[in-house]
Structure 1
Amino acid sequence: MSRTRSVTASALGAHRRTVLAATAAVSVSAGVGHALRPTDSEAAPARIPQTTRSPEASPAPATPAAPATPARRTPAAPFTKGTTLAAVAAPRSGSGYRRLGSAPGWQRVVRGDLAAPRSGRAARRTTLAAFVQLTDLHLIDSQHPLRLEYLRAANPIAWRPHEALTVQGAVSLVERVNALRGAPVTGAPLGFAMTTGDNTDNNAHTELEWFLTVMSGGNITPNSGDPRHYEGVQNSGLPLYWQPDSTARDAFKQRGFPHLDGFLAAAIREVRSPGLAVPWYSTVGNHDAMPLGCYAHGDPYLAEYAVGGRKLMELSAADATRLQEAISGARDPAGLAFRDLLKAQTRAMRPVTPDERRAPYTPAEYVRAHLDPAYTGPGPAGHGYTSANADAGTQYYTFEISDDVIGISLDTTDPGGHYDGSVGTAQLRWLDDTLRTHRERYAVVFSHHTSKSMTNTRPDPARPDERRHDGDALVSLLGRHRNVLAWVNGHIHRNRIAPHTGSAGSFWEISTASHVEFPQLARIIELVDNKDGSLSIHTTLVESAAPHRTDFTDLSQTGLASLYRELSANARDDGPRLSGDPDDRNTELVLKKG
């Protein structure tokens, strides 16, 4: 019996594309994967607001489509309220469980790795585009049977005590984006938001529905299984996990985690999302594409287990270590050894309420869910994807950012299994053709994986004869096109910005930390023309709208969003590392004008 469900797709508009005249145009990217790392195709149609274009379509000019962000003169006053330029959440001094407070913001660092910044540029600049990147939201169905919480027996950070609050945290991030009256450097309006993958955590229909509702607006009940109460590791009585409603001295309470009576009931209570007030686009990540972010689709046992009435909640340290090493070493990409382990542990499983909504979804269903009119929100219809993507089995596309800038969303997941990525030959050729077609416009490329995490060239089961290409190949291709300004991505749950110089041009790779690990950040990106032969990319990190300080008696939606941040700060002690160095945070990245 199939354990996947289809979502109704909507029809889209006619195919067309924008071509600017040469005289007017300028030359123109943890879930399981993160937690377990020891260290850090067929062409799809283009997508532009209200219109679409097939890559095989004629290159003849057509009526221009309305851009997401028109180029504009810069207002005199920046808008920094609510950004990390103004303040950041930081743990107070002490040991054990530390409460959060407000600390001074992070200053902006000017980076001249690729071009020297010239004086007076602030007075000359004009805005090309301004937008927000959200990444690695990891909306988690924390009661899902297929989760690997028991890996905490081998790795203390393999399970997070705040996993039941991902929906509340994501809604608070949406509230922050909506509250930004303009971009922090230029004051320009934010044209759109892009999520760069791992929007869900476990390739489950429950999580996909929650993600789409968070982004587009509506009510969410972040619960599955029994509608009356929580069924999972946090009320299991097992001391390996934080038992918030219990007075028992579990491993977390021994470190100072609080006893919060009523926490689990509040965590699964209905949440209201206002939805983003700006158009938003979606890029796919490995946790969106595969169960647990690392296992290829196809095993009927795992699909049945996902919706069934048994859940494994504990495992010996030795078995947990072997499973972790198999995942991180990519020794079981199809999940066959994992299936055998579950079968061997049947008698140790606990009963839970079965739920068909926990079924895994296919890539085509992921695309069709985005096309569902119920989730259009502020648009565009499909959020970048088209019905042609669903028909072709692809998840990459182009879209208009502004008159001068094209956006390109890639699919860097490897369907053959494992959490690191790659791209197929067909997609790589499509990208090359797209950049060449739009060579008179600047380009920003989005993906989930970073250049260093695209090391998995396992064949795609649907295209076994197609070669897969790693991050070095993608860097080389982007460097052959002078119009590429930036590659924006996530996956590594860490802020990192790196310069790249290619055979024809240079660009910045901008990797942003996740919203499931502290410090829980998103990033505003502003593209400006300095009118002196250079361009600047301004990056500014933002936190959710939830207050930095928490009140343990406040289990409201906002109170839980604050607690989500504070619990994440205490879940692991490497927040400073994940936030990156100062030149990975709030920056001005200078480029030569192509």
Structure 2
Amino acid sequence: MSGISRRRFVTGMSSAAATAALWPVLTPGRALAQDEALAATAARAVRIDGTTLEQAATPVGDGAYKRLVAGPGWPLVVRAELAGAASGRDDRRTGLASFVQFTDLHLTDTESPVRFEYLARFIDSAHRPQETLTVRGASSLVERVNAVRQGPYTGLPFSLVMATGDNTDNHERIELDWYLTVMSGGRITPDSGDLARYEGVQNSGSAQYWNPEASLQDAYKAKGLPQIPGFLSGAIRPFDAPGLSVPWYTTVGNHDDSIEGSLPDLGLLGDLYTGSRKVEGCDDATAAKLADALLHDPGEAVILLSRLLADGGSIRTVTPDERRHPFTPAEFAKAHLNPAYTGAGPVGHGFTQDAVGSGHLYYTFDLADGVLGISLDTTNRAGFADGSLGTGQLNWLESVLKAHSGHWYDSDGKVVRGGSGGRLVVVFSHHTSGTMGNLLPDPYHPFEGRHSGDELVALLQRFPNVVAWVNGHTHTNRIIPHGHTVAERAFWEINTASHVDYPHHARIVEIADNQDGTLSLFTTLIESAAPYATDFTDTSDRGLAALYRELAYNDPYATPATRIGTAADHNTELLLTKPAT
């Protein structure tokens, strides 16, 4: 279907999609304004079912705990900050590419000794009431992609799914196995240690955690979370993951690279990972110090954690498990090459034997005919959550862009001719332009310089065929225009919320040529295949997947209203000047 130009209408379009014709349009140099004609022409989707154009989770109720129901779909917002939106473009449009982004799945071994659940009141990501269900929730998202199958605006089948990092929560081998099996398909037991029982904070008997199966009136039940008999036994029950029916690729994130995504992994805590001592609590003063150290001083955090294990914390004995051992970058690449995880392909899912040998987790791939994908490694093994690029990778990226560009701009703004030309480029990374300020030296490459998000933006803007930078990390939906005085040097940064925190989104991205000197990038959010309605007596696979979404919304330490983003960050048409050949 590549290269098909079409004009098609949805029969029986939902009222929500129909109202897209009345939605505000963004145009260059002005704020949101009404432009009914432009919005109406952009609303002609080939298909909307299975996407948030059709329906989206909506909270209801007056109590502390909100139930979720199927609410009206979200309309399309036309964003024309970077190029004008000409009428009639739907009649001329030719689809070029259609793919899906997963991000921040955080498949979590909740029974691991190396976790910081007792810091949740200081760092909301330290513990989530829904995190025992991450594996089922991710598999339900796979089911959604398999059902939707195509882009709603171009009608092109998905060429691939790209997972943009934090695929695991604590870079453990068992979490990596769960991730690869969710993506490829197969039998999964989302449990570690003693496979006959759950050994984590949610049956600790501590009132600071949600104890779902107990009648204990803990801090979470005080916020309205229910008692759910059979919840934990259901959460660790084996199930069959269908796996993606389309090829998939992986980008690495900081949680795939370091301890809880924050502490440098210098091999010092391997025995703690695989051991039997799990800290489940500590006094408030120590918790506050450790939380601050995780954010600002990783070395001090390791010292405080060692003291807790020695004599300062509430210690639980859990069943040791060698599968909790953290993996290295080389092992991460090697696991992707295991034939057991090939699924719909490709072999290695972007990684090669060269990546195993070098530990370099960045690569290029064919996203579609005439469209190149580039996956970057923005992690910094010095620690901290934010990232940057090493000089070697930045130079490699520049050489790749030159090889696939018909022309580009040098640092003085002069046009340079060369390369093969004719290919659009989409860049993928875990970190965003605003979260790449961690310029600490990489302890494994201490003499190599590190480069910020601003430097990466400046490089990408030298190459007119770069149309988008797709990323995650922030757990928030946000779309940023990177404008330039030379129109063809602009591009869009598309940041998507996580699938561990509400709103649990993935994103369809479509690229289309409007045949009028502009391109349109359509971004459409999707939710998992889980039903919206929950039943506290239903611990079936579908019932647990539904609870995963609703519990995430009701996490008392989370901020769903912030993470969901605005209408201009959801279902959009992003206009862009087509680069000159």
Do they superpose with TM above 0.5? yes
Deviates more, 1:182-191 or 1:580-589: 182-191
Amino acid at match of 1:271: F
- d(CA) in 2 for partners of 1:237, 1:389: 45
- Inter-CA distance 205–258: structure 2 relative to 1 (3 Å threshold): same
Q: Say if 2:546 is the partner of 1:562.
A: yes
| Deviation at residue 70 of structure 1 after TM alignment | 3.8
1:204 touches 1:360 (CA, 8 Å); kept in 2? yes
Q: 1:74 to 1:208 in 2, by over 3 A?
A: farther
SS at 1:186 equivalent: coil
Give me the whole-angstrom Cα distance separating, in 1, the residues matched to 2:365 and 2:459. 20
Q: Is the 8 A contact 1:333 1:417 kept in 2?
A: no
Q: Shift of residue 576 of structure 1?
A: 2.3
Spell out the pairing of 1:9-408 with structure 2 (5 A cutoff): 70-74=2-6, 76-77=8-9, 78-155=46-123, 158-300=126-268, 302-329=269-296, 331-332=297-298, 335-345=301-311, 348-408=314-374
Q: 1:533 aligns with which of 507, 517, 520?
A: 517
What is the distance in 2 between the residues matched to 1:124 and 1:140? 46
Judge conservation of contact 1:334–1:417 (CA < 8 Å) in 2: no
Partner secondary structure for residue 247 of structure 1? coil
Distance apart, 1:152 and its partner CA: 2.4
- 1:321 alignment partner AA: A
Instruction: Write the distance in 1 (CA, Å) between the matches of 2:364 and 2:267.
Output: 33
How far 1:156 sits from its partner (Å)? 5.7
CA-to-partner distance for each residue in 1:176-202, whole Å, 9 max, x for gaps?
Answer: 000004211111111100000000000
State the Cα deviation string for residues 351-404 of structure 1 (Å, max 9, x = none): 110100000000000000001010000000000111101111100000001221
1:591 partner letter: L
Cα displacement (A) at 1:575: 1.6
Matching residue of 1:576? 561
How far, CA to CA, are the matches of 1:434 and 1:157 in structure 2? 36
Aligned to 1:50: none
User: SS at 1:146's partner residue?
Assistant: coil
State the partner residue of 1:16. none
TM-superposed CA distance for 1:75, in Å, is: 6.2
- The one-character-per-residue Cα deviations of 1:199-222 (angstroms, maximum 9, x if unpaired) are 000010110000000000001000
Residue pair 1:333, 1:418 contacting (<8 A) in 2 also: no
Counterpart of 1:558 in 2: which secondary structure?
helix
CA distance in 1, matches of 2:209, 2:564: 26
Question: Which residue is equivalent to 2:412?
Answer: none
Q: How many residues align?
A: 524
Aligned-pair CA distance for 1:333: 5.4
What does residue 588 of structure 1 align with? 573
Give the alignment partner of residue 453 of structure 1, picking from 435, 451, 456.
435
- Contact 2:270-2:326 within 8 A present in 1 as well: yes
Do the aligned partners of residues 200 and 355 (structure 1) sit closer, same or farther apart at CA in structure 2, a change above 3 Å counting? same
Partner of residue 417, structure 1: 383
Cα deviation per residue 1:543-566 (whole Å; 9 max; x = unaligned)? 000000111111011110000000
Residue 574 of structure 1: CA displacement? 2.5
CA distance in structure 2 between the aligned counterparts of 1:243 and 1:264, rounded to whole angstroms: 9
| Matched residue type, 1:380 | P
Question: 503, 527, 531: which one pairs with 1:543?
Answer: 527
Bigger relative CO (Cα 8 Å, ≥ 6 apart): 1
Which residue does the alignment assign to 2:477? 495
Q: Where does residue 485 of structure 1 map in the other structure?
A: 467
Most deviating of 337-346 and 384-393: 337-346
Question: 1:375 is matched by which residue type in structure 2?
Answer: Y
Q: Which moved more, 1:76-85 or 1:346-355?
A: 346-355
CA drift of 1:271 comes to 1.7
Measure, in 1, the Cα distance between the counterparts of 2:160 and 2:575: 23
Whether the 8 Å CA contact 2:207–2:219 is kept in 1: the answer is: yes
Displacement after TM superposition at 1:93 (Å): 2.8
User: Structure 2 counterpart of 1:150, which letter?
Assistant: Y
Q: TM-score, normalised by structure 1?
A: 0.86
Unaligned runs of 5+ in 2: 10-45, 406-420
Q: Give the SS at the match of 1:536.
A: strand
